[in-house]
Structure 1
Amino acid sequence: MVFEAKMEDSVFISYCVVAGSFLFFQFLFSIVSPRISPNLSKSYKKLSYGKQLEWDSSIVSTVYSLIVGTFCIYILVYDDAVNADPIWGDPFQVKMNVAITCGFLVYDLLFLARFWKEMRDPYMVCHHFAVIYAYGYVLNRGVLPYFANFRLICEFSTPFVNIRWFFDAINMPRSSKLFMFNSLAIVVVFFIVRIAVIPSYYSQVFATFGTEGYIRLGIGPQVAWIVSCVILDILNLLWMYDLMCGFYSVVKSKLERTPTRNHAD
């Protein structure tokens, strides 16, 4: 009875954090960004309505990624209970991080639905629903804390992607050194936190198969865990391909604009 009461309290707290997270990110989008962005860049007021929406959304996602990514690393380093038992370890800190994530995802889904004509991003919708589906088990049952938290490492690539969007929005030349450096940083960081970790992640997943902790999960969480991971990694591979193509086009454009010297010069 005591354990069940604690679980109920933990679930209640988690959903309170989800609600608070949603309200916080909605406040950033609706109030904070429109007020501070004109001071950050004079180009903001010159943007179209759709571009201003994307700008405000990028501000929000950057703040979110820095909060959740930092918390993620802290848990991976210092949460001994989760590291010792990746399936059933004390999930409280992970649940708070996941709750923040779910609040952001709800905000972003409503944002995409409200401004679908301007945004139109079906990949992102699939990504968000897959994450919420899997993280629902973390919030309600406290299972798989290590693996749930590990997936959040990927958020460290988000600020670089948003910076590139800001550069494009203010018409920074793609041949500039700053744009080139950020384009390279996107590819490198995205590869490290989303692609290079795939073998390590799945080796840890496979290591749990057949264990008592894995069997205790039941079919529902097992399916949600594996299916959502596969969907997310397919999306990550597709995005990685798009980033590589984008970086190649930037480098190619830079080389084409570089004047060549002949032997007579």
Structure 2
Amino acid sequence: MKDIFPIPPIPALSRAIQPLADYLGFEILPLHIHEIVISALFYTFVQLVVSPVLSNFFFPQVYGAMSRSKKINWDVHVVSLIQSLLINSLALWCMFTDQERTNMNNDWKERIWGYIGTPAMVAALACGYFIWDLVITLLNLNVFGLGLLAHAVSALAVFSFGFRPFLNYYSCTFILYELSTPFLNFHWFFDKLNMTGSRAQLYNGIALIATFFSCRLVYGMYMSTWVYRDMWNAVWEGPSVEWITNPDAANGIAVRAYGAGAKPIPLWLFILYVASNICLNSLNVHWFFKMISAVRKRFVPAAPKTEVEVKKAQ
């Protein structure tokens, strides 16, 4: 299926990035660099313009009273909410409508080296967000912490190597980690809008825990085993790759054709992906238990203090 992004590749931008793409071995990066740049600029615009304007209009007393660091945190949650809604919709649409991607299901070599326009577009838009996220986290490390920095670095590494192309098939799969993110952001906003402990926050908390557990822990780790297996096969065996012109391919460009005798993927790439994936999954497990604790604090009454604890507090 062709890339449906409404803006075609920008020749000047593609030429500018070509030397870096050649150096890194990111053969399809020039075809999608405009999507990365536009995505990063869009989320920057949402953070700097859209969020402050709408927040001051709808929540002037809450947003207006915040300090600079708290406003940054608020704006970042607005960006995260918008991004997760957009990228989840695109990923699900791609998975259910792209027949070319469906045809890759039974061929591990295509899942590793295959290239299709729509999953690559999803990966490019995600990379744009992760670049924005990395910059914001570095500039405000005291606000967001090392955990979110590790997440931004790992996520950007995993998705950027898709422009070799590599694991293009899985880009939509792993972006579905974000299905729980809208509920996470709503949970945070309920606290800031003095709705802590409300029925709306309770229902949202149930949806948050359910989607986080099912999407990130169960589905995410299950699909990780598929990726590890495919990559391990590719370490020892690989197709020869020949670029051929295909008018039906994304943007009318080339696609992969397979033969015999190509070099397998380098071991360092396998190690990098496994390490990044383990980092992300470990963070998800850590955040899941913190999430349960945070929800319980809002809805489970604290046990009354004993006489000894009261005396210690005095």
> How would you bin the TM-score normalised by the shorter chain?
0.7 to 0.9
1:126 aligns with 2:144: no
CA distance in 2 between partners of 1:29 and 1:254 (Å): 37
- Correspondence for 1:113 among 132, 138, 142: 138
Alpha carbons of 1:246 and 1:74: their partners in 2 closer, same or farther (altered >3 Å)? same
Tell me how far apart the structure 1 counterparts of residues 35 and 112 of structure 2 sit (CA, whole Å).
22
- 8 Å Cα contact 2:179-2:215 kept in structure 1: yes
Paired residues for 1:232-243 under 5 Å: 232-243=280-291
Note the C-alpha offset of 1:15: 1.8
> 1:1-265 maps to which residues of 2 (within 5 A)?
10-42=28-60, 43-83=62-102, 84=104, 85-117=110-142, 119-139=143-163, 141-172=164-195, 174-208=196-230, 209-210=232-233, 212-213=237-238, 216-253=264-301
**CA distance in 2 between partners of 1:46 and 1:195 (Å):** 37
Gaps (5+ residues) in structure 1?
1-6, 257-265
Residue 148 of structure 1 and its aligned partner are, at CA, apart by 2.8
Shift of 1:164: 1.2
Q: Which amino acid aligns with 2:137?
A: L
- Shifted more, 36-45 versus 127-136: the winner is 36-45
Secondary structure class of the residue paired with 1:175: coil
Rate the CA distance shift 1:206–1:54 in 2: closer, same or farther, 3 A: closer
Query: Are the equivalent residues in 1 in contact too, given 2:35–2:125 (CA < 8 A)?
Result: yes
Contact 1:94 1:145 in 2 (8 A): yes
In the aligned structure 1, how far is the partner of 2:131 from the partner of 2:59? Answer: 28
1:23 maps to a residue whose letter is: L
Aligned pairs, number: 248
- d(CA) in 1 for partners of 2:67 and 2:216? 32
* Distance across 2 between alignment mates of 1:252 and 1:199: 30
Deviation per residue, 1:90-125 (Å, 9 max, x gap)? 2322221111111111112221222333x1321110
Q: Is the 8 A contact 1:72 1:150 kept in 2?
A: yes
**How far, CA to CA, are the matches of 2:269 and 2:93 in structure 1?**
25
Flag the structure with larger Rg: 2
TM-score, normalisation: structure 1: 0.85
**Percent identity at matched positions?**
23
User: Conserved in 2, the CA contact under 8 Å of 1:91 and 1:142?
Assistant: no
Q: Is the 8 A contact 1:143 1:217 kept in 2?
A: no
Contact 2:122 2:171 in 1 (8 A): no
Query: 1:253 is paired with a residue of what secondary structure?
Result: coil
How far apart, in 2, do the equivalents of 1:112 and 1:227 lie?
A: 21
Cα distance in 1 for residues equivalent to 2:28 and 2:85? 25
- Give 1:127 deviation, angstroms: 0.8
**TM-score normalized with structure 2 length:** 0.72
Q: Distance in 2 between matches of 1:109 and 1:36?
A: 24
Does the aligned pair in 2 maintain the 1:64–1:104 contact within 8 Å? yes
Q: Is the 8 A contact 2:26 2:165 kept in 1?
A: no
Q: Kindly tell me: are residues 206 and 31 of structure 1, through their superposed partners in 2, closer, same or farther at Cα, counting changes over 3 Å?
A: closer
The structure richer in helix per residue is 1
Q: 1:128 to 1:55 in 2, by over 3 A?
A: same
CA drift of 1:11 comes to 1.6
The root-mean-square deviation of aligned C-alpha atoms, in Å, is 2.4
CA contact (8 A) 2:84 2:181 kept: yes
